[in-house]
Amino acid sequence: MIEQKSKSRLITIIIHILIWGIFGLVYFFQPMYFNVNLPYQLWIKQAIIWGSLIVAFYLNSQVLVPRYLLKNKTGIFFLFVALIVAVIVMLNIYVDQWLNLHQLMEAAFHRGGPPKHHNRGRDFNWDAAMIATIALVIGISTSITAIQKWQKDKQMHQDLEQDRVTSELSFLKAQINPHFFFNTLNNIYALTHVDADVSRKAIHQLSRMMRYVLYDTQNSTTQLSQEIAFIKDYISLMELRLTDVVKVDFSSPVGLKDMAIAPMIFLPFIENAFKHGVSATQPSHIGITINQKDTVIELNVINTIIKEQSGNLEEGNGIGLNNTRRRLDLLYPGKHDLVINESTSENIYMVHLTLNLA
């Protein structure tokens, strides 16, 4: 980041040098179009005025605009601008008198002929051109500084928003992970009273899943193949405690095209199905399907509603589902569609999630 800022600062300096170099060429060589032998005093004056314009440019951009204009002190700002214009105009007049440029230029244009009557109208035109030049320099300085300030504020706002989103996502993920492990450990604890061998197998599977959660999902994304493998492990772990009256169907894409996806984004919906859709005595069914069409991923979860366990299906697993909704809003704004339906007539609960990973 520091190296990038240094490069950006260096590029800005080079651009300023080039712009002032081009302006200087135009400013210094413009008098040569007169096609006369000009006195060297004219170049001294041009250098002094050119330097004063540079000072005015950076005095305005570094001091006046930040301190007054951008802080809504427009009256003071325009007062200082008028003062700068007056100072440079007076400097121009003083340098003309100091170097005796009026007579030298008259002599250069009339090749030493008799001195002409001093033309005040021409002096007025030169003063008007000088004021216009100063105003142009001040205007460019103000515009550039205002645009840079706007870009800086916009970038700062984006950085703050990104930090906020990152912090919120970390908080949401931190809530989901303990919630998932809490439920899974409860299931394993129940297994220890039924079958010690099965419970040991479950602990081994859980340790593999914990490794994935703790180490493989530290980045903001994981591979789709890894996420599906995690879901398979989870389903296998949940099936260890199910009876024969529960039927679980799972299908995933055959020709999977791997791509990046937010880790554990599907888990709360699947976990919810196992928590509220199975019974040890009542026939029940869970259907989980993951489809892929180019960059679009679809998750379909259908489960039977077990009345004694249902209550409010979203409140029962509120941490997982509510946080997942929020994660989807933050990670895939405008690129996801979540539809959840509960059919009391058919006694099923359906989740359809569409993600565009492009």
Architecture of the domain spanning 194-356: 2-Layer Sandwich (3.30)
296 in Cβ contact with 354 (< 8 Å): yes
Q: How many helices (H) and strands (E) does the chain have?
A: 12, 7
> Distance between CA 259 and CA 254 in Å, rounded?
15
Number of other residues whose CB lies within 10 A of the CB of residue 186: 10
pLDDT value of position 199: 80
- The torsion of the CA quartet 191, 193, 197, 198, rounded to 10 degrees, works out to -20
pLDDT in tens, 301-341: 999 987 765 444 444 444 567 778 888 888 899 999 999 99
DSSP secondary structure, 58-72, as one string: HHIIIIIHHHTGGGT
Tell me how long the chain is: 358
> Distance between CA 185 and CA 2 in Å, rounded?
46
pLDDT value of position 203: 84
Per-residue pLDDT of the chain (358 residues; tens, 9 = 90+): 556 666 667 777 787 787 777 777 666 665 555 555 667 777 788 888 888 989 999 999 999 999 999 888 999 999 999 999 999 888 888 888 888 776 776 666 565 444 444 454 445 556 677 788 888 889 988 998 888 888 888 888 777 777 776 676 566 556 555 666 776 787 778 778 777 787 887 888 888 887 887 777 777 788 999 999 989 988 988 887 788 899 999 999 988 999 999 888 898 899 889 888 888 788 899 999 999 999 999 999 999 987 765 444 444 444 567 778 888 888 899 999 999 998 878 889 999 999 999 8
67 in Cβ contact with 48 (< 8 Å): no
What pTM, to 2 d.p., does this model score?
0.54
pLDDT value of position 67: 92
Q: Could you state, in order of their start, the residue ranges of all structural domains in the chain?
A: 2-159, 194-356
**Pairing of β 284-293 and β 246-251:** parallel
Q: What is the mean pLDDT of the chain?
A: 79
